[in-house]
Amino acid sequence: MDVLLASRLQFAVAAGFHFLFVPLTLGLSVLTAIFQTLWLKTGDEDYRRAARFWGKLFLINFGLGVVTGITLEFQFGTNWRFYSQYVGDIFGSLLAIEATLAFFLESTFIAVWWFGWNRINPKIHTLAIWLTAIASNLSALWILLANGWMQNPVGYVIREGRAELADFWAVLTNSFAWWQFLHTVPAAFVLSGFFVLGVSAWHILRKNELTFFKKSFRIAAIWTVIFSLYLIVEGHIHGAEVARVQPTKLAAMEAHWETEKGAGWVLFAIPDEENERNLVEFIKIPKVLSLLAYHDPNAEVKGLKEWPKEERPPVAWTFWAFRIMVGLGFLFGLLSILAYLARNNPEKSPRLLKVLLWNIPLPYVAAQAGWIVAEVGRQPWIVYGLMKTKDAVSPLSSVQVGISLPAFIIVYGILGIICFWLIAYHAKKGPEKVSEIPSELVTKTNK
């Protein structure tokens, strides 16, 4: 098998699989911290049980997130040697800072939280889950500063055949990276919010622990509506930023071939990359693409034909992934409003509850689609405009990658199935009864 293709697939598997677990980690850690804080403030036992219940699901998910994260850090060196040499001066330092600032904090305090229930003061214990949540989201910031640099390299000079750091401040304030952060983390919050709504819906439909799950539902509904609606606005600004910084990606996202002023926006199309056109275009609205991308109905939007074929990203992938993400984004906006309206008496809306249950996987699909837009849409560049993916791959033998790629797929596949099965098992089991919580803990927290 071709080493380049196999390495790309392997990275896609490793990164995509890792990101099945990251969003829930980012959001559920904060929600768990909120539940525990509510318990601390109100003394309501249901909130303590909520922290323990959602925290356990968080932890099962967290385990796979951690171990698959190590792979990614190794993959740059193992499979993308020339990339690593070329960008290590900037990209490597961002990863090292992420580990120092975030990973130690996250891994230490999640353990303090999980093992500390009956050992440490409840206030410090609540602080531990907050530190875990903050550290997780801090690590998202640093990794997105690193990815943002690949999307929009800034603050560098080319010296001795590599990109060297020239302006650290420019790397830290890279607007593209910040828009990615302001998109990815709230998207993770939406996924987590719908996860809590979906699991709560399952129990509410069965009249199981009704008071408990209504409380979880209510908080998750408020949380989800905030971030879902925010994302619709942010997504638009984010898209305009893509238009400014990565015109080839934008053209692929919209399957837009010809450079034109007052470009129209098409709802659906079947891109024909061979013949540089769209086979079918379904619902085309004049001037809307120019308006969306540049806030001016007559602005010029560059088409894919502007660039030679070898500098265009795969159009169909980018186009469809973008549409799936945006379409689901609007669906989430609608669903979150309905959930918000039903927040006080969700048991009276059984149909909504069923939809919310079946909705659980959809934010995962949206998140994966989002990364496909970001990463496939950046092709053929590994660092936009600076280095091509094909020039970055390690001098490996096809046997090495030919074995490692299927190994990743098999091991990850098995672990993924086990993880989601275990989450579902514990989610269905529901929270512990107060009497099941070790007594030592009750006496300690009642003080």
Partner 1 sequence: MDLEFYQTLWFVLWGVLWAGYLALDGFDLGAGSLLYVLGKSDQERRAIYQSIGPFWDGNEVWLITAGGATFAAFPTAYAVMFSSLYTPLLLLLFALIIRGVAVEYRNKYESPTWRNLWDIAFFVGSLAPALLLGVFFANLFKGIPIDEKGILQTNLLGLLHPYALLGGILFVFCFATHGALWLALRAPEPLASRSASLAKITWAITFVLTGFFLLISGFFTNIWQNFKNYPILSIVPILMICTYLLVPVFIRSAKYLHAWIFSALTIVLFTAWGMIGLFPNLLPSSIDPAYSLTIYNSSSSLLTLKIMTIVAVIFVPVVLLYTYWAYKTFSYRLSKEEVSY
Q: Which residues bind partner 1 (CB under 8 A)?
A: 56, 59-60, 62-64, 66-71, 73-74, 76-79, 81-82, 84-85, 87-93, 95-101, 103-105, 107-112, 114-116, 119-120, 159, 162, 164-166, 168, 394-396, 400, 404, 407, 411, 415, 418-419, 422, 425-426, 438
Encoding tokens for residue 327?
């379409």
| CB-nearer residue toward partner 1: 305 or 388 | 388
CB of 77 to partner 1, least distance (A): 3
CB of 406 to partner 1, least distance (A): 12
| CB-nearer residue toward partner 1: 64 or 301 | 64
CB of 306 to partner 1, least distance (A): 34
| CB-nearer residue toward partner 1: 92 or 385 | 92
| CB-nearer residue toward partner 1: 124 or 334 | 124
Which H or E element spans position 162? strand 162-165
- Which residues have C-beta within 8 Å of that of residue 377, sequence separation ≥ 6? 246, 248, 249, 252, 253, 313, 318, 321, 322
| CB-nearer residue toward partner 1: 62 or 257 | 62
Radius of gyration of the CA atoms of the chain, in A: 23
Which H or E element spans position 157? strand 156-159
Give the 3-state secondary structure of residue 445: helix
CB of 37 to partner 1, least distance (A): 21
CB of 1 to partner 1, least distance (A): 15
Distances (CA, A) of 26 to 36, 328, 415: 16, 20, 20
Which H or E element spans position 387? strand 387-388
Give the 3-state secondary structure of residue 293: helix
CB of 146 to partner 1, least distance (A): 11
| CB-nearer residue toward partner 1: 222 or 415 | 415
| CB-nearer residue toward partner 1: 75 or 248 | 75
CB of 117 to partner 1, least distance (A): 11
| CB-nearer residue toward partner 1: 174 or 290 | 174
| CB-nearer residue toward partner 1: 202 or 408 | 408
Q: How far apart are the first and last CA of the chain?
A: 65
Encoding tokens for residue 25?
């980690």
Burial of 159 (0-12, 13-18, 19+ CB in 10 A): exposed
| Rounded CA separation 194/199 (Å) | 8
User: Cα dihedral sign for 204, 29, 182, 323?
Assistant: negative
The beta strand positions in 286-350, using DSSP E, are 300-301
User: Running DSSP on this structure, what letter comes out for residue 159?
Assistant: E
CB of 75 to partner 1, least distance (A): 9
| CB-nearer residue toward partner 1: 17 or 189 | 17
Encoding tokens for residue 314?
């795969």
CB of 326 to partner 1, least distance (A): 34
DSSP calls for 51-113: HHHHHHHHHHHHHHHHHHHHHHHHHHHHH-HHHHHHHIIIIIHHHHHHIIIIIHHHHHHHHHH
Encoding tokens for residue 5?
């293709």
Phi, psi for residue 281 in degrees, rounded to 5: -125, 125
Encoding tokens for residue 270?
């079947």
CB of 432 to partner 1, least distance (A): 11
